[in-house]
Structure 1
Amino acid sequence: MKLEQVVGRVWVYPHDPDPEAIGASVGIVADERGSVLIDAGNSPAHAREVQRAIVAEGLPEVRWLVYTHHHWDHTWGAAAWGDVEVVAHTSATALLAEEAARPWSHQYLRDQVLENPKLGPSFRARALAVPDFSELRIVVPDTTFDDTLTLPTGVQLRYVGGRHAVDSIVAVDPESDVMLVGDCYYPPPFHLRTEEDTTDFAMARKLLREGHTYYVDSHSEPRKMR
Structure 2
Amino acid sequence: MVEKLQQVNGRVWLYPHDPDPAAVRASVALITGGDGSILVDAGNSPAHAREIQQAITEAGLPYPTTLVHTHHHWDHTWGACAWEDVEIIAHASATDLLSAEAKRPWSHQYLRDQVAKNPRLGPSFRARALAMPEWDGFRIVLPHRTFEDTLELAYGVQVRHVGGNHAPDSTVVTVPDAGVMLLGDCYFPPPFHLRTEEDGLDHAMARRLLRERHTWYVDAHSPPRSLAAASAAGPVDET
TM value normalised by structure 2: 0.94
Could you tell me which residue of structure 2 aligns to residue 43 of structure 1? 45
Output one character per residue of 1:179-224: Cα deviation in whole Å (capped at 9) or x when no partner. Answer: 0000000000000000000000000000000000000000000001
Output one character per residue of 1:8-52: Cα deviation in whole Å (capped at 9) or x when no partner. Answer: 000000000110000000001011231000000000000000000
TM value normalised by structure 1: 0.99
The answer as to 2:140 corresponding to 1:142 is no
Output one character per residue of 1:95-117: Cα deviation in whole Å (capped at 9) or x when no partner. Answer: 00110010000000000000000
- Whether contact under 8 Å (1:44, 1:135) holds in the other structure is no
Pairing partner for 1:114 from 108, 113, 116: 116
- Whether contact under 8 Å (1:185, 1:203) holds in the other structure is yes
Pairing partner for 1:173 from 155, 172, 175: 175
C-alpha distance in 2 between matches for 1:32 and 1:74: 26
C-alpha distance in 2 between matches for 1:74 and 1:39: 5
Q: CA deviation at 1:133?
A: 1.4
Could you tell me which residue of structure 2 aligns to residue 182 of structure 1? 184
Aligned-partner residue type, residue 109 of structure 1: L
Could you tell me which residue of structure 2 aligns to residue 25 of structure 1? 27
Could you tell me which residue of structure 1 aligns to residue 105 of structure 2? 103
The 5-angstrom pairing of residues 65-84 of structure 1 reads 65-84=67-86
Output one character per residue of 1:98-157: Cα deviation in whole Å (capped at 9) or x when no partner. Answer: 100100000000000000000000000000000111231101100100000001221100
In structure 2, list runs of 5 or more residues that go unmatched. 229-239
Aligned-partner residue type, residue 118 of structure 2: N
Q: Which runs of 4+ in 1 moved over 4 A?
A: none
Aligned-partner residue type, residue 190 of structure 2: P
SS at match of 1:87: strand
C-alpha distance in 2 between matches for 1:20 and 1:151: 34
Output one character per residue of 1:39-81: Cα deviation in whole Å (capped at 9) or x when no partner. Answer: 0000000000000000011111100000000000000000101
Instruction: Number of aligned residue pairs: give it.
Output: 226
Could you tell me which residue of structure 1 aligns to residue 233 of structure 2? none
Could you tell me which residue of structure 1 aligns to residue 159 of structure 2? 157
Aligned-partner residue type, residue 174 of structure 1: P
- Whether contact under 8 Å (1:33, 1:153) holds in the other structure is no
In structure 1, list runs of 5 or more residues that go unmatched. none
